[in-house]
Amino acid sequence: MSLKNWDNKTWLSSQDYINSFNNFLIKQIKFNKNSKILDIGCGRGKIIGSLSSKLKLKKMPIGIDIEKHKNRDKRIILKNEDAIKFFKNNKKEFDLILLKQSIHFFKFKDIKKLISLCKKSLSAKGKIIIFTLETNKNEIPAFSLMKKKLNKSMVRQKKIIKFLSNSSPGNVKKKFSFKVKISKKKYVKMIKNRYISTLLKLQQSEIIKGIKEIEKKYKEKIYFNDKLICLILRK
């Protein structure tokens, strides 16, 4: 089962979220019209597509995603291939290589290889910016089994963050947060669509049971902060 719905009709695809996220990125890098951007695990590419318009980039950003989304952003060049394979044939340099909530899909041995390849493809002042879910005080609304799976994934993400921090001296760690307001009805639909990777391997009966928990646990409007850890690596 693939992850097709993480950025489809969720708060992650809202213009407010995209604007907030891109404003955060702009504070981390000195962009200009000639900036070159690569997004690994870009989904439909709405974030870098919007960033491209905002910055009036001369070169279209490149997005890599193994899913062949039908409604991808037309402002990007989408590559449906493995990221490591992409770098084997790549001769371009990038000012920003973005990995937003995608690093955890890679095995540890591949993470090391991927970051090495990313660094070789950075421009002189380029940066790799990696976002992962906040591992300590995460507020994502969850039912009990979902929470259990989420906590297990957080243990691995902590190891990834530690590994990246130790292997990249001079890295900078920051935090990004977005205030989410969503109807319980819409959030239940997101769970049905398995919008987050921790839901992918659950049985349908477990999803149904979890939805019943959510319906009892939350009011008609759900409020929480979507918190991300941001790790900035240089060449």
Domain ranges of the chain: 11-181+225-234
What CA–CA distance (Å, rounded) separates 132 from 160? 10
Q: State the pLDDT at residue 8.
A: 60
Cβ pair 160, 131 in contact under 8 A = no
Which residue is listed with tokens 């996220």?
21
Residue ranges of the chain whose pLDDT lies below 70: 1-9
Q: Which CATH class is domain 11-181+225-234?
A: alpha beta
- Residue 204's contacts (CB-CB under 8 Å, 6 or more residues apart) are none
Half-sphere exposure of 149 (CA within 13 A, CB side): 17
Read off the DSSP letter of residue 65: -
Strands 122-133, 221-234: pairing kind: antiparallel
Q: State the pLDDT at residue 66.
A: 86
Q: State the pLDDT at residue 235.
A: 84
Q: State the pLDDT at residue 1.
A: 43
- Residue 43's contacts (CB-CB under 8 Å, 6 or more residues apart) are 6, 7, 8, 65, 67, 69
- 182-235 pLDDT, tens per residue? 999 999 999 998 988 899 999 999 999 999 999 999 999 999 999 999 999 998
